[in-house]
Amino acid sequence: MLRQVLAGASALALLAACGGDDVEIEDELVEADASVVEDAAIIPAEGNAEVDAFLAENAAMDGVTVTESGLQVETLEEGEGESPEATDVIRIEYEARFADGRLFDSSEANGAPVVLPSYEVLQLPGLIEAVPMMQEGERARFVLPPDLAFGEAGMPGGMVGPNEALIFDMTLVEVVDPEDEARLEELRAEEEARFEERRAAAMAEFEAMGQENAQASEAFLAETAAREGVETTESGLQYQVVEDAGDGESPAATDVVRVHYRGTLPSGEEFDSSYSRGQPATFPLNQVIPGWTEGVQLMDVGDTYRFFVPAGLAYGETGTPGGPIGPNQALIFDVELLGIEDAPEIETPELTQEAEPVD
C-alpha cells in the first residue's frame, strides 16, 4: 500500500531523485511487486460508529497516547538515534493492517527495509505526522483515524474502503543524511541488486509458465481438433458451428460487427463475457486478435460459433499483462454474430485552392 501511495515508485527511482543515476524500471515488475494483499475481499467499515468505538477502545489502552490531530501512538521498542528531518533519506520496515487485524501491506515483500527520500512522500497525513516523532531504531504502532488516512473516499482501487481506521507497525531502521553520498551509493547498489534479482526471478517464472502453457495448449488443441464437428483452417484456427442461422450476410475484415461472446480458458474459467455485462460488443473486425478477424468472417448474421484459438492467433508469447491470459495460452470463444455495420468512411478534406504550378 505504501508503495502504491508512492504511485508505483521503486526505491531505485526514489534514490535516483536524491542525486543518483537514472534507473530504468519495467512497469510490469513494479506493479507485480507492489501488491501484497493477503485477502482480496476488502470489507469497508460499516460506519463511523464502529470506527469510533475501535478508536475509543484503542485510545484507552495502556501505553497509547493521542496527539492533537487524533493520531494514536504506542512505542513498542525504544530508539536511541536521531529523528528524521523532511530532507533526510529514511529506511523503514512496516506492516499495515485494518482495524480488525487483517494484514493488507508489508515491507516484507521488498526483501529489505523500504528506502524513501523523505517521509513526506508517504502522503497520508497520519504517517507524515508519525515518522518525525520516531528515533532511529524505534518501533512504534500508529493508529490512523479515517481523516488521517484515506478519509471518506477510501483508497482509489478499493484496497482501503471509505472511513477506514488503519494500523501501522513501523520501525525506523535508519536515518541517512542526504549529503552522505557514500551511504546513498551503498543503498542504491543494494536496491539495484535486489531489483535485478526480482526481475530475473520474474522472468524465469514467466518463461516457465509460457513453456507449461504451450505444452498444455498443444495437447488441448490436438484433443479439440479430433472432436466431431470441429473444423481446422489453414492458420490453425478451430471452429465448431453451434447454431446455424442459414444463409445470411457474412462480414468482411473491414466491417464493424456487433456480437455477444464469452471467452474462457481451457480449464473452463471465464475471463471475459458480453453476456455477463448484459450488453453486446461492437468493434471493427480488423482491430481484434487474428483468430477473431479470421473466424467471425466465416459466420453469417445469426450464427453462433465456438472457436478454439491457438496462442499465435490470440495473445501470443506475452499474454495480457497482469492477467488473466498467460503466455502461450490457447483460448475458447463462443461468439454470436448479431449484426454487421459498414466501417465509417474517412472523409478527405477538400482543397480550398488549387496548388500553384511548379516552374
Fold held by 2-201 = Chitinase A; domain 3 (3.10.50)
What does the alpha-carbon distance between residue 138 and residue 78 come to, in Å, rounded to a whole number?
A: 5
What does each C-alpha distance from 283 to 34, 249, 257, 262, 305 come to in angstroms? 34, 17, 6, 15, 18
* Grid cell at residue 348: 478527405
Q: How many CB atoms lie within 10 A of CB 45?
A: 20
What does the alpha-carbon distance between residue 252 and residue 340 come to, in Å, rounded to a whole number?
A: 9
pLDDT higher than threshold 80 for residue 353: no
pLDDT higher than threshold 60 for residue 224: yes
Q: In this predicted model, what pLDDT tens digit does every residue of 18-35 receive, in sequence order?
A: 444 443 334 333 333 334
Q: How confident is the model at residue 158 (pLDDT cuts 50, 70, 90)?
A: confident
pLDDT higher than threshold 80 for residue 54: yes
CATH 3.10.50.40 fits 227-341, yes or no: yes
What does the alpha-carbon distance between residue 215 and residue 212 come to, in Å, rounded to a whole number?
A: 5
Distance from chain centroid for Cα 48: 30
* Grid cell at residue 322: 497482469
Number of H helices, E strands in the chain: 8, 14
Q: In this predicted model, what pLDDT tens digit does every residue of 276-296 receive, in sequence order?
A: 999 999 999 999 999 999 999
User: 3-state class of 162 per DSSP?
Assistant: coil
Q: How confident is the model at residue 47 (pLDDT cuts 50, 70, 90)?
A: low
* Amino acid at site 26: E
What does the alpha-carbon distance between residue 263 and residue 127 come to, in Å, rounded to a whole number?
A: 44
Name residue 260's beta-bridge partners.
336
Domain range summary for the chain, segments of one domain joined by +? 2-201, 227-341
What pLDDT does residue 185 have? Answer: 95
What pLDDT does residue 41 have? Answer: 40
Asked, colleague to colleague, whether 2-201 and 227-341 share their fold, the answer is yes
* Residue 18 near residue 118 (C-beta atoms within 8 A): no
Active site residues: 261, 271-272, 289, 315, 333
* Amino acid at site 132: P
* Residue 327 near residue 267 (C-beta atoms within 8 A): no
* Residue 168 near residue 81 (C-beta atoms within 8 A): no
pLDDT higher than threshold 70 for residue 175: yes
What pLDDT does residue 235 have? Answer: 97
* Residue 261 near residue 296 (C-beta atoms within 8 A): no
Q: C-alpha dihedral over 68, 85, 171, 48, to 10 degrees?
A: 30
Kindly state the DSSP code that residue 281 receives in the 8-state scheme.
E
* Amino acid at site 158: G
What pLDDT does residue 159 have? Answer: 85
